[in-house]
Amino acid sequence: MESMSIGELARCTGVRPSALRYYEGAGLLPLPERANGRRRYDGELLREMLNRLAVVRVAKQAGFTISEIRTLLDGFSEDTPPSERWRILAQDKLPEVEALVERALSMKDLLERGLRCECLRLEECSLAGNGSSQALT
């Protein structure tokens, strides 16, 4: 595997250089060696970066925070398998996601009711909580 600059790594992974630097600072990625003041990724470090970035991408898609991703990567003993790490964090994350889905469904319902609204005055509109027991809270 060849040596890469941060720009080359960014193009290869689809992650902006600024995000790579942020992930390094947040402890998600190891700090690379520098050549003439510039980051260089090669050998084992490059393989580790690519693997960790793949995990970060999936974890972000699942809604994990930077802190949660850091825990997933480095917050368990070395002998804890990735599947167990994921299971523990996912059990904690699911209620949060379920609440988010419930909120999104409520928002969708409100928007759909708004599309059917034919009120002539806001003072009489049930969406605004006037003239109905379904007031917004």
Q: What is the pLDDT of residues 4-52, one digit of tens each?
A: 999 999 999 999 999 999 999 999 999 988 888 899 998 899 999 999 9
pLDDT tens-place string over residues 53-77:
999 999 999 999 999 999 999 999 9
Query: Encoding tokens for residue 116?
Result: 């059917």
Q: How far apart, in whole angstroms, are the C-alpha atoms of residue 58 and residue 63? A: 9
Q: Rounded to the nearest 5 degrees, what angle is found at the Cα of 13, between the Cα atoms of 12 and 19?
A: 120
pTM listed for this prediction: 0.77
pLDDT of res. 3: 85
- CA distances from residue 62 to 54, 82, 92, 107 in whole angstroms, order as listed: 13, 15, 12, 21
Write the CB contacts of 117 (distance below 8 Å, at least 6 apart in sequence): 125, 126, 127
The count of residues in the chain is: 137
